[in-house]
Amino acid sequence: MTSIFRKLTTAGAIAMLAGSAAAQTEIKIGYALAPDSHYGVAAEKFEEVVLAETGDDFTFRHFPSSGLGGEREVIEGLQIGTVEATIVSSGTLANFVPETGVFDIPFLFRDLGHARRVLDGPIGQDILAKFDDVGLHALAWGEQGFRHITNNRNQIQGPADVQGLKLRTMENPVHLAAFEAMGAAPTPMAWPEVVSSLQQGVIDGQENPLSVIVSVKLNEVQEYLTLSGHVYSPAMLLVSKPFWEGLNDDQKASLEKAATEAVTAMRAYVDNVETSGVETLKERGMKVGELSAEQKAEFQAAIQTAYEGYYETYGKELVDAIVATE
Ligand code: PAF
Report whether residue 91 contacts ligand 1, using a CB cutoff of 6 Å: yes
pLDDT at 244: 98
Instruction: Spell out a b/e string for 166-183, using b for 16 or more CB atoms within 10 Å of the CB, else e.
Output: bbbbbbbbbbbbbbebbe
Q: What is the pTM of this model?
A: 0.92
Distance CA 38, CA 31 (A): 10
pLDDT at 34: 98
Report whether residue 169 contacts ligand 1, using a CB cutoff of 6 Å: no
pLDDT at 23: 76
Distance of CA 39 from the midpoint of ligand 1 (Å): 10
Q: Looking at the DSSP assignment, which residues form a beta bridge with residue 205? A: 151, 167
Report whether residue 234 contacts ligand 1, using a CB cutoff of 6 Å: no
Report whether residue 231 contacts ligand 1, using a CB cutoff of 6 Å: no
DSSP state string for 146-161: EEEEEESS---SSGGG
Distance of CA 91 from the midpoint of ligand 1 (Å): 7
Report whether residue 87 contacts ligand 1, using a CB cutoff of 6 Å: no
- Along the 326 residues of the chain, how does pLDDT read in single tens digits? 334 334 333 433 443 444 444 579 999 999 999 999 999 999 999 999 999 999 989 999 999 999 999 999 999 999 999 999 999 999 999 999 999 999 999 999 999 999 999 999 999 999 999 999 999 999 999 999 999 999 999 999 999 999 999 999 999 999 999 999 999 999 999 999 999 999 999 999 999 999 999 999 999 999 999 999 999 999 999 999 999 999 999 999 999 999 999 999 999 999 999 999 999 999 999 999 999 999 999 999 999 999 999 999 999 999 999 999 99
Distance of CA 89 from the midpoint of ligand 1 (Å): 6
- CB-CB contact of 131 with 137 (8 Å): yes
- CB-CB contact of 77 with 239 (8 Å): no
Where in the chain are the domains? 2-324
The answer regarding whether domain 2-324 maps to CATH 1.10.3720.10 reads no
- Residue nearest to ligand 1 atom 9, measured at CA: 89
Q: Which atom of ligand 1 is nearest to the CA of 66?
A: 8
The residue type of 296 is: K
Report whether residue 32 contacts ligand 1, using a CB cutoff of 6 Å: yes
Q: Looking at the DSSP assignment, which residues form a beta bridge with residue 25? A: 58
Report whether residue 194 contacts ligand 1, using a CB cutoff of 6 Å: no
